[in-house]
Amino acid sequence: MAEYSGFDDWFEMPGGEDFVDVTDVLVAGARDMESEEVLLMDGFTLMDAMSAFEIGEPRLDSGMILEEQRRPPFDPLTPLLPEEVCWILDRSFACEMEWHTGKTLSQSVFTLLFVHHLPDINPEYLPPEEFEDPTRPRWLITVVIRAAILGLLKCCDLAWRELSKNRVHDVEDWQGEKCDVSLLEGVNAEVISRILDMACDWLRQSQFPETQVAALCDRLLLRKAILQLYRYNFLNDTAQARVEIAASLGLLHRVRGSQPEVSPGSPALLAMDPYIARRLPNFMPIRVTELPSQDKTWDMLQVFLEYWQEVVHLVTSPSLLTWEVAGALRFALRRSVPPPFHRSLVQSLFFDNNAVLGSHQLGWLVEHFYEETIGIPYTTILKAIERSTPQPEMASMRDVIERRIIKIMIPHVRSNWFNPPRRRRHLMKDVLQWHQLYDMLLKDIEHYQPPDERTAQILRAIPQAAQLRRLSTSREIILSGFQQELYAPEEKPIAYWYLTRILDVHIGCIEDLLPIIPTDTPTFCELLFQAEHLSALQMISTTLVALTAASITSPWHRISLNFLRRYKWVFKTEFDALVPVKPEPDLLAFPDSLKQFLLDELYSPSASLQLARDILSHLAESPHDWVGHWAPDRREYLRSLAEACNNLGRIAPASLRELAGFNLAPLKWIPDHRSSVIVLSNTTTTISFQFLGTLLNFANLSSSTGMKRKSSLVSRPSPYHTAVTLFEAGEGAVETVVRRSKRLKTGLTTETPVSEPVETEKHAVGEDLPLNTPVKSSKKITTTIKLEEAEESTTVAPATAAIAGPSKVRRTPPRWRETYDAIKRMRSRIVAPVDTMGCDQAQLKETDPKSQRFSTLVSLMLSSQTKDEVTDAAVAKLREAVGGSLSVDAILQADESAISEAICKVGFWRRKTQYIKQAAQKLHDEFDGDVPKTADELCSLPGVGPKMAFLALQVAWKINAGIGVDVHVHRITNRLGWHKPPTKTPEETRVVVMSPSLNLQSWLPVELHAEINHLLVGFGQTICLPVGPKCGECELGDGSCPSARKVVKASSSKKRTKVTSTRGTPSGRPKIEVELEEDTKLLVQVVPPNAPELEETPLDENAGVKAGDLS
Ligand code: SF4
């Protein structure tokens, strides 16, 4: 070739002009080589060679058989003892199970050499044997082994047919290459079933001992039973299917009890050849693998049979969400992903032939979608649409809804039986689909005109169904990233952070739905469960944000690039045209959000985990009727997750100040295919954290009672759980938490370098620290922590403390005491409605202590959204309506209509009627007819929230468990500037565990907790009114109150003024523009300290009045 100059222009030969043909050298070298010898050229080491083999071993396999791999030729008719036949039959099951794990047939089934010698052992083609050894009759091979091999191949054939339906994917999930070996495709399974029966007959008529006959027959019958299961139509007769599966499991149990042993020189061993793939035509290179041990084989077979059981349960549970839970629990419980055969079978059974479960029309999906997601029957939705729109539009809407939902739901449910990577990819597309549906529904309902509030509520709930699916799908994607170990260490805090945000919105979405779902429906119970479950997960993920934050070491611009890449599924351009929904990952928000969170002095990682543990443990014991067969699995999952929280909570820091001393290094993730496990290497503590893997599919079905805890990461408090009080009480609570966690026994010793004086030492424990006082950090802190339970001390290496601060300093609003005393003085001079008609008055009309407490509770329940005067009158009327005494029994005996009539003047009287009835029933059934003594128990009553619970405890039991914060307390404390930044809800005002805002329970002395509600409510009813506070009469109007309004005289009546404010609008555009036409002589102006003057635009020359934030 080198001589052909025509190539010179095209190719540059190796060595260029010096190219030499070395073929002869190689031939000569080969002549000098010994068999199995390796020659290495200069610079090419043995390690290089091993790497080459490791990387491409099957392709580099020359086919050469080493000495130790040489085997005598296999003679299929070599006589065998019954126990040797037993052993071969057992290995046939091992081959089959190995194939179902995703190996090729040539790595598994075809390694059993009898598969390739069926014609050689067919008795019809064999002459009679002249000298037969009675202990090793040939018919053991020609009848027994042959029947078993036929059964094995037919089982493989039937499985192959299901697997090749494209529900699961060849090469990805299973291996379909047959290497030109027959799987008896043309043979009827019934014929093989009869052959297996005949083999059993032969055995029973033989002279072998009974135990040997039984052992062989059991194996043949087990093969026959499995063959029958492959043939079974699970939609036809599920009862019979259960019987068949139970019989198979029974046979398996018997087979396991008779394990044969073969000697090392047994000819039976020759029946297995792991290198058979070298002699078969393979599509792709095949690595030689080992079959599982027999014990493991039986375990695998048992699981395989149990998955058939699960299929039966699935097809007899016509519920979309149950299917999803069942699919997801496989991951959450660290069980193996179902074999591809069962994953394919489930998909076929559900959706073959355009029908659900072989009999339901596709519209069935739509009905279940709404009923199970938002608890509203589809017929009710259609009626609501009908009432709100002309008929033609309704038909159009219905058609669009149904087609879109069916289109999304079928693959969505199916994806639970995809392999994990494929499922993740599918969910990434699903998010967009759910969002598009949400967007479409949102826009559609805008055109309707509901005739009443109930109809409007139903219409508003329609898009929420899609929103819930979108949120749960997003959550799944994030968690699947953990399961599949996709996140680099620096990505984990971001993943947890984003998860926290999604859970936040999800819980809020559920809370919005709960009020419109009838409380006695399974959906209501399930959504409550979901709320609690998601809240616990939110606590865990929030804690993990803190614990993993230190792993971020790269510059933000670099991390953000990874972020964009990892979350490309939320940055698709298609989203731009849709209604924006939260949470969209806001890249720029993450650094600030994290920084703010890490400065939260009240947040305790260990307490957060302990609280999550308590919630999960509680959930594990609560009823789980919805998920039926999977209820024990769900409990197991919850307990397992609770235990993980407990274990991690024991070693997590008690506060963020200690974070610097927390060493993440000993914790490492151990991939386990299905889950992740944290092992603390220097102790025996093992924390299984399968939640990081998957758990959350299953949260679809269930989810959330929330916590009222909010952090800078959590924007929404939940009214369904008060357990947050564990965290809330500021300094005291933190101390309590520390004790709970058993984290610190003798203390935490903090050493600081001499050169770095610690500012915190200037503050005594419990000392008030003005809000504005900067919390100075020490540069380095060495923390010694004694683990009380482990009875050992661990000295954590010095670490840079980025967030260290004073350990026990209470921050308070400046000069709060003077303000408080001033209000007290004012209150002493006035009588407010709450003084004569508050909830504490209701008990005065009762004599029985239980009735006194109950009447207090009823008064509180009626008081929400209602003036004290109206509430007081309603309580009196209700007492009269139920016979003169407001007791639990009296309410239970009263008609709902009588109660409704009595309280019809209060807000939401219909719902309150139901709540009072239900609460009375619950008190009667669970609390001996009395008001319970804890906030948690009180909040378990319908219609009772934290505020009512704390007030009820204070008035009825004289128990001071927390501050009852209502709208008056919320408004006034914000006006006084006691919360920075201002709080948005009463519950946030009371306490939010992770909020950067000061909240009342964090600093107000405990002895004032009981009185502050009464004090401020009366103040708010008489002076600091919601609209038009009487600052002129208020002692604080002299400048002590930042919201004080100045009294300004108007020059004349009837003025027309245009008032414009530009405050608070970054763009500078006018925020408020109000035209006033007043007869009054006085107008007011809000002049907060340091606030810029408002821009004023008079409409006429007489308008000299300034106005402020009139909004
Ligand atoms: S000065 Fe005005 S706003 Fe401030 S507390 Fe008094 S009444 Fe309320």
The full DSSP string for 696-759 is GGGGGT--B------BTT-----TT--TTHHHHSHHHHHHHHHHHHT--SS--EEE--TTS--G
> DSSP 3-state assignment of 812?
strand
462-477 mean pLDDT: 90
**Is residue 706's pLDDT more than 80?**
no
64-77 mean pLDDT: 78
Which among 1019, 1031, 1038 is the best mutation to test ligand 1's pocket, defined by most ligand atoms within 8 Å of the CB?
1031
> Are the beta carbons of 88 and 80 closer than 8 angstroms?
yes
Burial 821-840 (b: 16+ CB within 10 A, else e): ebbeebbeeeebbbbebbbb
pLDDT recorded at residue 1081: 33
Q: Which residue has the higher pLDDT, 1059 or 883?
A: 883
pLDDT recorded at residue 627: 67
Taking the CA of residue 1023 as reference, the ligand 1 atom at the shortest distance is 7
**Is residue 702's pLDDT more than 70?**
no
pLDDT recorded at residue 187: 92
Q: pLDDT for 775-786, tens place per residue?
A: 333 332 222 222
Taking the CA of residue 1041 as reference, the ligand 1 atom at the shortest distance is 4
Distance between CA atoms of 77 and 132, rounded to whole angstroms? 12
Q: Which helix (H) or strand (E) holds 1059?
A: strand 1055-1061
What is the whole-number distance in angstroms between the Cα of residue 826 and the centre of ligand 1? 12
Residues with Cβ < 8 Å from 971, sequence gap 6 or more? Answer: 1020, 1024, 1026
Distance between CA atoms of 840 and 857, rounded to whole angstroms? 9
Task: Decide the pairing of beta strands 780-787 and 1082-1086.
Answer: unpaired
**Mean pLDDT (the chain, rounded):** 74
Which among 1019, 1024, 1025, 1086 is the best mutation to test ligand 1's pocket, defined by most ligand atoms within 8 Å of the CB?
1024
Distance between CA atoms of 112 and 97, rounded to whole angstroms? 13
What is the four-CA torsion angle of 99, 103, 106, 107, rounded to 10 degrees? -100
**Is residue 339's pLDDT more than 70?**
yes
> DSSP 3-state assignment of 381?
helix
Distance between CA atoms of 193 and 154, rounded to whole angstroms? 10
pLDDT recorded at residue 658: 81
Distance between CA atoms of 776 and 600, rounded to whole angstroms? 13
Q: Which helix (H) or strand (E) holds 98?
A: helix 82-100
Lowest pLDDT segment from 139-148, 360-369, 647-656, 762-771:
762-771
> DSSP 3-state assignment of 1015?
helix
Q: pLDDT for 180-209, tens place per residue?
A: 899 999 999 999 999 999 999 999 999 899
- Report cis status (omega within 30 of 0) of the bond before 1029: no
pLDDT recorded at residue 124: 85
Phi, psi of 174 (to 5 degrees): -150, 175
Q: Which residue has the higher pLDDT, 6 or 445?
A: 445
pLDDT recorded at residue 113: 95
Confidence of residue 1095 (pLDDT cuts 50, 70, 90): very low
Give the residue numbers marked as catalytic.
Answer: 947
Distance between CA atoms of 240 and 232, rounded to whole angstroms? 10
Closest CA to 1081 of 1047, 1030, 1036: 1047
Residues with Cβ < 8 Å from 496, sequence gap 6 or more? Answer: 541, 542, 544, 545, 548
Structure tokens at 719: 């009214």
Taking the CA of residue 1045 as reference, the ligand 1 atom at the shortest distance is 2
Please count the residues of the chain: 1111
**Is residue 882's pLDDT more than 80?**
yes
- Say if pTM beats, i.e. exceeds, 0.75: no
pLDDT recorded at residue 64: 63
Distance between CA atoms of 546 and 600, rounded to whole angstroms? 11
140-165 mean pLDDT: 95
What is the whole-number distance in angstroms between the Cα of residue 978 and the centre of ligand 1? 13
What is the four-CA torsion angle of 600, 605, 607, 609, rounded to 10 degrees? 140
Distance between CA atoms of 730 and 708, rounded to whole angstroms? 15
CB atoms within 10 A of CB 722: 28
Closest CA to 756 of 782, 794, 795: 782
Q: Which residues pair with 686 in a beta bridge?
A: 679
Confidence of residue 792 (pLDDT cuts 50, 70, 90): very low
Closest Cα to atom 2 of ligand 1: 1031
Closest Cα to atom 8 of ligand 1: 1024
Q: pLDDT for 125-138, tens place per residue?
A: 888 777 778 889 99
Lowest pLDDT segment from 13-22, 407-416, 833-842:
13-22
819-839 mean pLDDT: 84
pLDDT recorded at residue 662: 76
What is the whole-number distance in angstroms between the Cα of residue 713 and the centre of ligand 1? 32
pLDDT recorded at residue 1100: 30
1094-1110 mean pLDDT: 28
Structure tokens at 682: 């220097």
For ligand 1, which residues put their CB under 6 angstroms from it?
A: 975, 1023-1024, 1029-1031, 1034, 1036-1037, 1041, 1043-1044
What is the whole-number distance in angstroms between the Cα of residue 1027 and the centre of ligand 1? 11
pLDDT recorded at residue 571: 82
> Are the beta carbons of 629 and 718 closer than 8 angstroms?
no
CB atoms within 10 A of CB 818: 12
Checking 236-243 for CB contacts under 8 A at 24+ apart, the result is 238/312, 238/315, 238/316, 241/308, 241/312, 242/309, 242/312
Closest CA to 495 of 469, 509, 467, 474: 474
Burial 20-51 (b: 16+ CB within 10 A, else e): eeeeeeeeeeeeeeeeeeeeeeeeeeeeeeee
What is the whole-number distance in angstroms between the Cα of residue 1029 and the centre of ligand 1? 6
Tell me 66's DSSP state: P
> Are the beta carbons of 108 and 291 closer than 8 angstroms?
yes
Distance between CA atoms of 1044 and 1039, rounded to whole angstroms? 7
pLDDT recorded at residue 673: 33
Q: pLDDT for 957-1006, tens place per residue?
A: 888 777 888 888 988 988 888 887 788 777 777 765 444 456 787 778 87
In the chain, % helix, strand, coil (3-state, to 5) comes to: 55, 5, 35
Handedness of CA 498, 504, 509, 513 (dihedral sign): positive
What is the whole-number distance in angstroms between the Cα of residue 537 and the centre of ligand 1? 41
Distance between CA atoms of 191 and 151, rounded to whole angstroms? 10
Q: What is the CA radius of gyration of the chain?
A: 37
Structure tokens at 467: 């929103």
Taking the CA of residue 1031 as reference, the ligand 1 atom at the shortest distance is 2
pLDDT recorded at residue 766: 31
| Tokens 């709450």, located at residue | 834
